[in-house]
């Protein structure tokens, strides 16, 4: 008969009853669960260092270490309550205060009115003003102190830019630029302040930098065709400066080549009507422009004029001198017949449509007008619609 093997004894049952540890669900004879008795057991006695058996001694605290060394630990600074936001002053912007209060849901308080000015202060101001006015009147009544002629000349002299333009050194606009750069000398002293007044007899000259700048400026001679305006463009018409380009340069083989910088500040020095043709001067040099169109300019301008109609008996004499335009008496001119229908005009001024209006006053009508000379510079063989540079040996 086969015997069934017995199962191995459990660990707690193999140990003696005295050493056997009660199970969690076991209950002692006094009715207290064994697991509660385990919780109530007192821990093992600690050693002299204060640590339980089998554990490392705890590290002493900061105060204990400082006390062992005879020092006192630093106290942490006491936390201060946050400061309240500063109250905006009563004189701050009313709009900003209202927006702030509206954002917080409060009603804006009325702004504080400005304190009224004290009567004593007002009386003091009036008294001070009366005293100032009295002192000013007293100073005006005193005779002016004598001043030296040099001081009078410096205070009541002529503007430096005006003298430079009158002497033909440059235009007034150029003079201001030269003065700002310190390129002007008056009696050996460098001048760099705009509006400086000097003695009219003072010596004025330009620095080499100013002369070099003027030499870089170009002057162009153009044979203007009919239909181009010399000055400001008009609706439907092109300005004469539109003809200045590399394709229309007549002297490209013997003179400098055209560069786009030559158009910068290029302006006509004198008018030539839209229905007239001939020599037109365009320049970057303000000195040349003033020489040709200034108020005191005496540069001659020669025209060939084709006319129709019957000249009055004294018409030729009146054309030379005796006519008025716009209430101004014209300067002396030189007018003579070239053939039956052409006149030669030499003028020293250039009013708007002057030759046409002069001819109408003596019974003639201009049918064609061509300018052939300005000063000593002639139109010559320059083709219609082309241009060339003013040569170094040419002067007006």
Q: Which of 47, 176, 273, 275 is catalytic?
A: 273
Give the 3-state secondary structure of the chain.
CCCCCCCCCCHHHHCCCCCCCCCCCCECCCCCEHHHHHHHCCCCCCCCCCCCCCCCCCCCCHHHHHHHCCCCCCCCCCCCCCCCCCCCCCCCCHHHHHHHHHHHCCCCCCCCCCCCCCHHHHHHHHHHHHHHHHHHHHHHHCCCCCCCHHHHHHHHCEEHHHHHHHCCCCCHHHHHHHHHCCCEEECCEEECCCCCEECCCCCEEECHHHHHHHHHCCEEEEEECCCEECCCCCCCCEEHHHHCCCCCECCCCCCCCCCHHHHCCCEECCCCCCCCEEEEEEECCHHHHHHHHCCCCCCCEEEEEEEEECCCCCHHHHHHCCCEECCEECCCCEEEECCCCEEEEEECCCCCCHHHHHHHHCCEEEEEEEEEEECCEECCCCCCCCEEECCCCCCC
296 catalytic, yes or no?
Answer: no
Catalytic residue annotation: 273
């Amino acid at each position: 008969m086969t015997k069934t093997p017995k199962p191995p004894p459990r660990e707690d049952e193999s140990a003696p009853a005295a050493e056997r540890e009660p199970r969690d669900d076991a209950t002692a004879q006094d009715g207290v669960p064994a697991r509660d008795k385990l919780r109530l057991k007192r821990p093992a006695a600690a050693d002299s260092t204060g640590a339980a058996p089998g554990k490392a001694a705890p590290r002493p605290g900061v105060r204990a270490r400082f006390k062992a060394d005879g020092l006192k630990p630093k106290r942490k600074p006491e936390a201060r309550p946050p400061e309240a936001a500063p109250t905006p002053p009563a004189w701050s912007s009313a709009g900003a205060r209202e927006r702030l209060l509206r954002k917080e849901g409060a009603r804006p308080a009325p702004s504080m009115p400005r304190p009224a000015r004290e009567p004593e202060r007002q009386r003091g101001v009036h008294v001070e003003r009366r005293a100032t006015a009295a002192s000013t009147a007293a100073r005006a009544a005193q005779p002016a102190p004598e001043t030296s002629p040099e001081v009078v000349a410096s205070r009541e002299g002529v503007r430096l830019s005006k003298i430079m333009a009158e002497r033909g050194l440059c235009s007034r606009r150029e003079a201001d630029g030269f003065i700002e750069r310190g390129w002007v000398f008056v009696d050996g002293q460098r001048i760099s302040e705009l509006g400086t007044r000097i003695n009219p007899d003072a010596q004025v000259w330009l620095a080499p930098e100013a002369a070099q700048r003027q030499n870089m400026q170009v002057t162009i001679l153009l044979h203007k065709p009919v239909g181009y305006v010399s000055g400001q463009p008009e609706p439907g018409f092109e300005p004469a400066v539109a003809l200045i380009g590399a394709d229309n340069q007549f002297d490209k083989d013997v003179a400098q080549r055209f560069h786009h910088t030559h158009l910068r500040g290029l302006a006509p020095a004198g008018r030539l009507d839209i229905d007239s043709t001939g020599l037109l001067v365009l320049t970057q040099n303000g000195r040349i422009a003033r020489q040709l169109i200034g108020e005191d300019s005496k540069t001659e301008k020669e025209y060939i004029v084709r006319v129709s109609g019957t000249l009055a008996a004294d018409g030729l004499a009146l054309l030379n001198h005796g006519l008025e335009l716009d209430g101004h008496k014209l300067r002396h001119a030189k007018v003579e017949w070239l053939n039956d229908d052409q006149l030669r005009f030499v003028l020293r001024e250039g009013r708007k449509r002057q030759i046409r209006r002069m001819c109408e006053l003596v019974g003639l009508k201009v049918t064609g007008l061509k300018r052939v000379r300005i000063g000593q510079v002639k139109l010559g063989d320059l083709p219609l619609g082309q241009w060339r540079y003013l040569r170094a040996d040419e002067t007006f």
